Amino acid sequence: AEMFMVHIPVAGFFRSDDVTVAQVALALERVPEKSRHQRRALSCGGVNVFNGETSTIFLDFKLDNNKVTKYIVRLHNDVMDVLESIPTVEPDRETTRGNYWPHLPLMQQATLPTALLEEAVQFADGVVRHRRILGAGTDPWKLWLVKYESDAADDDWSDGSWARDLRWTIVESVNL
């Protein structure tokens, strides 16, 4: 299986056919025009964990100031406008307006024993501190539309079976 691509999601996953992907790609080209020259640095606030049926470990990116908050939320809303304008797109339930927070997934869909999950979090936290990532800023520079595929997942992407043979292709790349 290929590595999961390092990225900060702006919108969640959605199922689509090739025609829908082409429509979304075309519409995304117009998204950055409104906000190209705004300050947009995000800084790493540390390692965090989301526990549910499965666990996700991620780098939590805080928003440095009000301008950044407006920029990243506007970018998210603009992408959501694109997705909602195309009838064949059904955005992921996690992708809702007002619920957006920038984060970089390190591990997703994990079903680990508690002790092993704690070790994974400690390891990630150690790397963040040792590499001095905490507080370091990053500017989003690309908006990517990525197509993920998995034979193991087939039509059910909910159980993490996709991790065995995940493949991805960047379908559209737009400069921010």
Task: Return the pLDDT at 47.
Answer: 93
**Number of Cβ atoms within 10 Å of the Cβ of 120:** 18
Average pLDDT rounded to a whole number, residues 124-150: 85
SS (H, E, C) 29-73: CCHHHHCCCCCCCEEEEEEEEEECCCEEEEEEEEECCHHHHHHHH
**Is 70 exceeded by the pLDDT of residue 64?**
no
Q: Would strands 137-138 and 103-110 be described as parallel, antiparallel, or unpaired?
A: unpaired
Task: Return the pLDDT at 122.
Answer: 95
Average pLDDT rounded to a whole number, residues 145-154: 87
**Is 80 exceeded by the pLDDT of residue 171?**
yes
**Is 50 exceeded by the pLDDT of residue 4?**
yes
pLDDT band at 34 (very low <50, low <70, confident <90, very high): low
Task: Return the pLDDT at 21.
Answer: 92
Question: Taking all residues of the chain, what is their mean pLDDT, rounded to a whole number?
Answer: 82
Closest CA to 92 of 16, 147, 13: 13
Task: Return the pLDDT at 14.
Answer: 85
Q: How far is the first Cα of the chain from the last one, in angstroms, to the nearest whole number?
A: 30
**Is 60 exceeded by the pLDDT of residue 61?**
yes
pTM of the entire predicted model: 0.78
